[in-house]
């Protein structure tokens, strides 16, 4: 492999990227905007009240007064038909209605706020019936490192490494094939290994500043802690970017149309979006789904970044997932070189 050719291809890919305003926006601008929006959405503070409804029948006013005195509940007194509609459309988490046996609690158990509403209502009814119980104190956990935004920022870094790495390589390679640019390169003395290595090198370099910007943004604006090794975090970003560009290259090795690569990319990325641990902890998954989650590269990128940023992880603590990611990237790159077609 001639490294002079590899460097030239990498330089060309780098320059080509900066000449496209749309590519610059979707690689750097959009992830930053998403971090800002989600950061404001999940700021720590007092949780919103849980909405419930009471069917307006004779005798319901006493129940309404009892529920109104509960701080965590937002209560509406509605006619029976309107109350049923509010529950069906998800506007309220729980409905209290009366029958011959007394108050009846109706809710959808698949909604997480429904269980909270039921517990709050039952506690309020117990307090009213028994004359009160010992007050339970509560406090909001908002220390840096324990908030949802602290969990989210490393996940967003991993998610954007995946998106920029896979789409930045896969989509552009197929676009070059559709425009017959790859066919022109085929008649040059350049080997496909040199072309792919150079293209992956150029695109891998581009995803590093994106991840660093999101990380710096989270630290400065949201006070997300960084307690571990800077070197370990940097290597996680570099190796993660390399792995995802390798996957993107493998997906694009045979795809001949934009529609094909779009569907293939979505099929590969969808399990990682859902199970990769970006928006919720995938440690709670069980059975075969947990095994699938553990095989996803995004899981290990997110977990490594959280270990370093939030748990004071060092390079020695995260060398195993980093090694596995690097090996996965090499396998994808090797398969892509064998399967790649110029046209």
Q: Integer distance in angstroms from the first to the last C-alpha of the chain?
A: 22
CATH numbers and ranges of domains, the chain:
3-42+143-339 (no CATH), 50-130 (3.40.190.10)
Residue by residue, DSSP assigns 298-311 as HHHHHHHHHHHHHS
pLDDT of residue 17: 67
- pLDDT value for 22: 67
Confidence class of residue 184 from pLDDT cuts 50, 70 and 90? confident
pLDDT tens track for 256-295: 888 898 899 889 999 999 899 888 888 767 789 889 999 9
Strand arrangement, sheet containing 73-78? 73-78, 50-55, 94-99, 102-107
Q: What is the DSSP string of 256-281?
A: -SHHHHHHHHHHHHHHHHHHSSSSS-
Which range of 89-98, 277-286, 308-317 scores highest in mean pLDDT? It is 308-317
Model confidence at 114: pLDDT above 90:
no
> Region 146-163: what's the mean pLDDT?
86
For the cut 90, the answer to whether the pLDDT of residue 237 exceeds it is yes
Is the separation of the CB atoms in 141 and 147 below 8 Å?
Answer: yes
Q: In whole angstroms, what is the distance from residue 253 CA to residue 46 CA? A: 51
* Mean pLDDT estimate for the chain: 82
Long-range contacts of 318-321 (CB under 8 A, 24+ apart): 318/232, 318/236
Does residue 330 carry a pLDDT above 50?
A: yes
> What's residue 320's pLDDT?
93
Residue 26 has a pLDDT of 66
pLDDT value at position 143? 53
Question: Which has the higher per-residue pLDDT, 171 or 327?
Answer: 327
Whether the pLDDT of residue 136 is over 60: the answer is no
Confidence of residue 134 (pLDDT cuts 50, 70, 90): very low
Separation CA 5–CA 10 (nearest Å): 9
In this prediction, residue 209 carries a pLDDT of 86
Dihedral angle computed from the Cα positions of residues 70, 71, 72 and 78, in that order, rounded to the nearest 10 degrees: 60
Q: What is the pLDDT of residues 30-67, one digit of tens each?
A: 777 777 777 666 666 667 788 898 888 887 788 888 88
> Model confidence at 328, in pLDDT bands (50, 70, 90)?
very high
Pair 114, 93: CB distance under 8 Å? yes
Question: Tell me, what's the pLDDT at 144?
Answer: 59
**Per residue, what are the HEC states of 72-121?**
CEEEEEECHHHHHHHHHCCCCCEEEEEECCEEEEEECCCCHHHHHHHHHH
Query: What is the predicted pLDDT for the residue at 100?
Result: 67
Q: H-helix or E-strand containing 51? A: strand 50-55
Mean pLDDT of 154-159: 92
Residue carrying the six token digits 């590269």: 297
Nearest by Cα to 268 from 240, 289, 244, 302: 244
Q: What confidence score (pLDDT) does residue 23 get? A: 65
Res 36: pLDDT? 73
Share of the chain above pLDDT 70, in %: 86
């Amino acid at each position: 492999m001639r490294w002079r050719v590899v460097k030239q291809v990498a330089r060309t890919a780098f320059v080509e990227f900066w000449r496209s305003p749309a590519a610059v926006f979707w690689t750097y601008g959009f992830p930053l905007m998403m971090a800002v929006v989600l950061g404001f959405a999940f700021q720590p503070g007092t949780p919103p009240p849980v909405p419930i409804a009471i069917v307006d029948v004779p005798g319901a006013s006493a129940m309404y007064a009892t529920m109104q005195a509960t701080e965590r509940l937002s209560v509406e007194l509605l006619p029976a038909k309107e109350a049923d509609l509010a529950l069906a459309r998800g506007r309220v988490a729980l409905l209290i209605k009366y029958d011959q046996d007394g108050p009846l609690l109706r809710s959808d158990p698949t909604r997480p706020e429904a269980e909270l509403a039921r517990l709050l209502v039952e506690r309020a009814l117990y307090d009213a019936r028994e004359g009160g119980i010992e007050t339970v104190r509560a406090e909001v956990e908002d220390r840096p490192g324990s908030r949802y935004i602290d969990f989210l920022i490393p996940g967003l870094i991993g998610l954007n490494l995946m998106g920029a790495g896979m789409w930045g390589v896969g989509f552009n390679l197929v676009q070059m094939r559709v425009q017959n640019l790859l066919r022109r390169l085929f008649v040059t003395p350049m080997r496909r290994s040199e072309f792919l290595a150079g293209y992956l090198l150029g695109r891998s370099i581009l995803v590093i500043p994106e991840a660093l910007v999101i990380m710096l943004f989270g630290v400065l604006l949201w006070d997300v802690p960084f307690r571990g090794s800077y070197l370990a975090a940097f290597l996680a970003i570099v190796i993660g970017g390399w792995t995802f560009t390798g996957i993107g290259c493998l997906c694009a090795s045979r795809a001949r149309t934009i529609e094909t690569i779009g569907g293939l990319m979505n099929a590969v990325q969808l399990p990682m979006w859902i199970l990769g641990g970006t928006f919720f902890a995938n440690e709670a998954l069980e059975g075969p789904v947990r095994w699938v989650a553990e095989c996803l590269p995004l899981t290990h990128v997110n977990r490594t970044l959280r270990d370093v940023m939030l748990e004071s992880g060092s390079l020695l603590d995260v060398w195993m997932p980093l090694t596995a990611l690097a090996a996965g990237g090499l396998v994808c790159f090797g398969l892509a070189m064998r399967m790649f077609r110029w046209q």
